[in-house]
Amino acid sequence: MSDSTFPIGMKLRHARKIKGMRLCDLADQVECSEGFLSKLENDKVKPSLQLLHRIVAVLETSISTLFSKTDDSIVSRAGTRQILHTSNIRPGEGVSLETLISPSKGHLLFGTIHIVSAGGGSSGTIIHEGEELGYVLEGELDLDVDGTEYHLMPGDSFFFPSRLPHGYRNPTDKETRVLWVNTPPTF
């Protein structure tokens, strides 16, 4: 039973929740039984590779993501974290990401510190599934969610479903740092 079973249940459940599906919805689309999916999400059965394939297809994730080892460095120290510059990827945005959780996929949570330089901001309002939670550590931020703009000061926080179109900008001439957590990386 529970020999060397890799615990993918929780990840599957999360992937399903992200899509707002019930077990019966998923069972419907995957064409298997609801009960089996329940047992699967509770790590009480092992699925066939074929079935698993159909499941990850519907949930829009991948088997490799599912089985990737979740990084176990528990604590990350201030100043020691990997910093990614989005301008290396898409030029001219002036946003850096300090990774709180090593983005080794398969996590349910994803956390970064958005370091938004003066005048910088996000570009394309990315719309995806999941939820976003943020907390302004330092500086100010103009956050635009679903057409409404919010001016945030240190200590303010925000929360919204990722499906709402959203973007942000730092209107000041000082750097802004925002702790940003969202559900899953979708890698």
Partner DNA sequence: CTTATTGGTCAAGTTACTTGACCAAGGGAA
Partner DNA sequence: TTCCCTTGGTCAAGTAACTTGACCAATAAG
The reply on whether position 97 binds a second copy by CB under 8 A is no
Backbone φ and ψ of 86, nearest 5°: -65, -20
Sign of the alpha-carbon dihedral angle for 127, 89, 110, 174: negative
Cα separation, 161 vs 56, whole angstroms: 22
Q: How far is the CB of 16 from a second copy (least distance, A)?
A: 11
The residue among 161 and 167 lying less far from a second copy, judged by its C-beta, is 161
Site string for DNA, 126-155 (x = CB under 7 A): ------------------------------
Helix 34-41 to helix 9-18 angle, to the nearest 10 degrees?
Answer: 120
Among 5, 7, 10, 33, binds DNA (CB under 7 A): 33
The reply on whether position 174 binds DNA by CB under 7 A is no
Within 8 A by CB and 6+ apart from 165, the residues are 125, 127, 145, 146, 147
The residue among 88 and 148 lying less far from a second copy, judged by its C-beta, is 148
Among 39, 54, 100, 172, binds a second copy (CB under 8 A): 100
Q: Which does 89 bind (CB under 5 to 8 A by kind): DNA, a second copy, none?
A: none
Q: Are 8 and 43 in contact (CB under 8 A)?
A: yes
The reply on whether position 158 binds a second copy by CB under 8 A is yes
Helix (H, G, I), strand (E, B) or coil at 41: helix
List residues near DNA by CB under 7 A: 22-24, 31-36, 38-39, 41-42, 44-48, 50-51
